[in-house]
A and B are shown apart, each in its own frame.
Chain A
Amino acid sequence: MHSLAEKIQQEFPNGFVKAVEWRGDIAVIVKREFLHDIAKYVHDDPDMDCDYMVHVSSVDWPDDEERFEVVYEVYSIRKRHRIRLKTRVPESDCIVDSLTDLWKGADFMEREVYDMMGIRFRHHPDLRRILMPDDYTEGYPLRKDFPVQGKGWRDTFEFLSEAQ
C-alpha cells in the first residue's frame, strides 16, 4: 500500500475501507461518516498538505447496495502528490458532508454533482442546480436510469419516435 494511504489508515482505522493503487493513481475508499474528518486531515496535515482541489465527481452503480460513489481528487502543490478520496452513498439517504469549508472551489464542483447525480451535500452554502435549469424536474441526467436521448417533454418530439 502507498505510504499516504497507510497514513490515512493509521489515523482513521474506523473510517478507512480500502486503498487501491492503479496506474500510479492512489484511491482511498473511506466511510461516508468519516469523509469530512479525513478530508480535513488530508488538507491540514503537513505531510499530506493537499491544498488543491482537482475535481469532484460521482459514479452511479445501480446494482450495488450503496448506489452512488462520490469522488474527490486532491493535489498537493508543495509535495506534488495526488490522492483520490471516494465514498459510497445509498440512494435512500443520498447525502454527504460538503467540503466547501476546506476547499472553496468545492462549491461549484459539488453543485455540479448535485445537479447531475442528485447527491446532496450537508452544509453546502448554495446547493442549487448549476447546468440544468432551476425548474428542471425530470431527474438527474447522469444517473444510469436516465435515457441518453432525454426524458420528459423531449420524448414527445415526433422526429424521435420516427427515428426509432
Chain B
Amino acid sequence: MKDTTTKQVLDDQRTTIYKVDPEHPESESLPTLRTEELLLNMGPQHPSTHGVLKVVLELEGERLVKSTPVMGFLHRGVEKLAEDGTYHQFIPHTDRLDYVCAMYNNFAYCRAVEKLMNITVPDRAEYLRTIVAEVQRIIGHQFWLGTQALDIGAMTVFFYTFRDREILLDWFDELCGARLTTSWYRIGGVERDLTQGLIQKLRQFLAYFPPKIDEYVVFLEKNRIWVARTKGVAVISAEDALSFGLSGPTLRGSGVDYDLRKYEPYSAYPKCEFSVPVGKNGDTYDRYWIRVQEMYESVKIIQQCLDQMQEGPVMADVPSVTLPPKERVFTNLESMIQQFKLFSQGFDAPPGEIYCGTEAHKGELGFYIVSTGGGKPYRLKIRAPSFIHMGAFDYMSRGYMIADAVTIFGTYDIVMGECDR
C-alpha cells in the first residue's frame, strides 16, 4: 500500500515540475527533458551514519526510490570469538558491541548465562543492576537525543545532553574505572557495591536532572525545523513494525507497548512502579517523545531502587560458577586459584540451549546460547536490535527526501558496533 502512495507522490511531483505555464507556451518543450535514476553512495565515511555504514541510495530527483544498506565494515566476528573463550572471558567482548551503552550488553549477557546456569542473583545485586542499567538508559537516550538533533541541524541541544552525560560517565568511571567499556556486571551479580559517595552523587544527579530534560525539550519542541523534520518522517505502522521485528522505542512509537521490563519482568523491575510510554503515529517525533519520557521514568526507577535497596551480598554464592570476592582473591590462595580456574577453564555448563532477551534502550538485546557442556559456549548468537532495525530501513525510507535518510538512521538509534558485531 505504501508503494502506491510513493508512486503517487512521485507522479504528482512530476506533473508539478512539467506543468506547462499558459503564459509562456514556449516552456512546452520541457517534458522532453531526460530523466534517470541517480545512484548515490552515502557513507561509509559520513558523519551521520553513526560509525561506518554505507547506504546505496537510488534517487528520483531528491526522493528515495530504494536504499540498500551495505553493512559489515565493523564486523569483528564476536560470535566466533565467543566460541573460543570461556563464559567469564566473554564479558569484556560484550562491551564492544554497543560501545555507547556497554552496561546493557553486560547485563543482557550475564542474564543469559544465569538462565543457562540457573542461578538466582541476590536482592541487592538485582537492585544495583537495575540502577546502573537505568543510568545507562539515560546515557543512551542523551546520546541519541544529542546526535539526532545534531544530524538534523539543531546543534545546541547536543552540548546540553553531552554536558549531563559527562556527569554520568564520570560516575561510571568512579564505579568501575572505565567510562565506556565498563565490564561491571558479573555472572551471578556485580563486580562491586556502590559506595556511599556514589549513592550520594547519584541522588544529587536525580535532583538535578529532570529540570534539564525540560530544557532539552524546550530547545526542540519550540524549534520549527526539528518539528518539521521529525513529524511524519519514517512512519511505520504497528503491523509492519512487528513484522520487521523492531523493538524498543522504535516499535513503541507505532503504538505497541512491547517492553520486556513489563512483559517478562526481570531484575528489580517488578518491584518498581513505572510506565511505558507508547506513541501513536509511528513517526520519528513519537520516538523522540518516548525517549524523552523514558528518561523521566528512568529517574523514577532509580529513585525507587535507591529507596528500597537493603544491605546484602552483591554476588550469588555458587562457588562453582561465580567469582570469589576480590578481597579474598588477594588474601586467600584457594580463592585465587578458583578465580584463575573460572576464567581460564570456565565452569561446567549443562548441555542445553536458552534464549534470554533484555530490554536495552535500543530494543530487545538477546543472547541465544547453545551449550554442549564444558566451559565454552558451543554457539552464541547475539540478537542485536540495531541490525534488525536496519532491515526495515529500505521499507521505511521509500518516498522520503534524501535529507530524511539521516533522520531515519537516527530514529533507530543505531550503533554499528552492535549492528556488525
Look across to chain B and name the residue whose beta carbon is closest to the beta carbon of A59.
Answer: B379
Of the candidate stretches A4-12, A32-40, A48-56, the one touching chain B is A48-56
- CB atoms of A142 and B75 under 8 A apart: no
Report the separation of the CA atoms of residues A137 and B115 in the bound assembly, to the nearest whole angstrom.
38
Query: B135 → chain A, closest Cβ, in Å?
Result: 27
A55 and B240 within 8 A (CB): no
On chain A, the number of residues with a Cβ less than 8 Å from chain B's Cβ atoms is 35
Interface membership of A27, Cβ < 8 A: yes
Is the Cβ of B77 less than 8 Å from the Cβ of A25? no
Contacting pair A55 B368 (CB below 8 A): yes
> Does B352 lie within 8 Å of A71, measured CB to CB?
no
For the complex, give the distance between the alpha carbons of A80 and B244 in Å.
18
1/0 per residue, CB under 8 A from A, across B69-101: the answer is: 001100101011101100000000000000000
When distances are taken between beta carbons in the complex, the residues of chain B under 8 Å from A146 are 80
When the two chains form their complex, are residues B354 and A105 in contact, meaning their CB atoms are under 8 A apart? no
Residue of A nearest to B368 (CB): A57
Is residue B392 within 8 Å, beta carbon to beta carbon, of the partner chain? yes
Closest 6 CB pairs of A and B: A105-B245, A108-B391, A131-B72, A57-B381, A55-B383, A105-B244
Residues of A within 8 A of B378 (CB): 59
Within 8 Å by CB of B71, from A104, A109, A130, A142, lies: A130
Task: Select which of B84, B115, B370, B379 is within 8 A of A23 by beta carbon.
Answer: B115
B102 at the A/B interface (Cβ < 8 Å)? no
Chain B residues with Cβ below 8 Å from A25 are 353-355
Is the Cβ of B245 less than 8 Å from the Cβ of A52?
yes
Separation in Å of the A117 CB from the closest CB of chain B? 10
Q: Give A residues with C-beta under 8 Å from B.
A: 22-23, 25, 27, 51-55, 57, 59-60, 71, 73, 77, 80, 82, 84, 103-105, 107-109, 112, 116, 129-133, 141-142, 146, 148
A-B contact pairs, 26 of them (CB 8 A): A27-B353, A54-B355, A54-B364, A54-B366, A54-B383, A59-B370, A59-B379, A71-B368, A77-B256, A84-B355, A103-B244, A104-B240, A104-B243, A104-B244, A105-B245, A105-B388, A105-B391, A108-B388, A108-B390, A108-B391, A109-B245, A129-B72, A130-B72, A131-B72, A142-B79, A148-B81
* A131 touches which of B83, B116, B242, B420 (Cβ 8 Å): B420
Tell yes or no: B165 within 8 A of A by CB. Answer: no
Known: A23-B352, A25-B354. A52 touches B242 (CB 8 A): yes
> Which residues of B are at the interface with A, using a C-beta cutoff of 8 A?
71-72, 75, 77, 79-81, 83-84, 115-116, 118, 240, 242-246, 256, 258, 263-264, 352-355, 357, 364, 366, 368, 370, 378-379, 381, 383, 387-388, 390-392, 395, 420-421
Contact in complex: B395, A104 (CB < 8 Å) = yes
Contacts A82-B355, A130-B72 given; does A52 touch B391 at CB 8 Å: no
**A23 vs B350: C-alpha distance when bound (angstroms):** 11
**Complex: how many Å from CA A25 to CA B390?**
27
Q: Which B residues lie within 8 Å of A55 (CB)?
A: 355, 366, 368, 381, 383
**Min distance, Cβ B366 to any Cβ of chain A, angstroms:** 6
Q: Which chain A residue lies CB-closest to B75?
A: A131
Report the Cα distance A59→B244, complex, angstroms: 23
List 20 extra interface pairs beyond A52-B258, A54-B383, A82-B355, CB under 8 A.
A22-B353, A25-B355, A52-B242, A54-B245, A54-B355, A54-B357, A54-B364, A55-B381, A57-B379, A57-B381, A77-B256, A84-B355, A103-B245, A104-B392, A105-B245, A109-B388, A130-B71, A130-B72, A132-B72, A142-B79
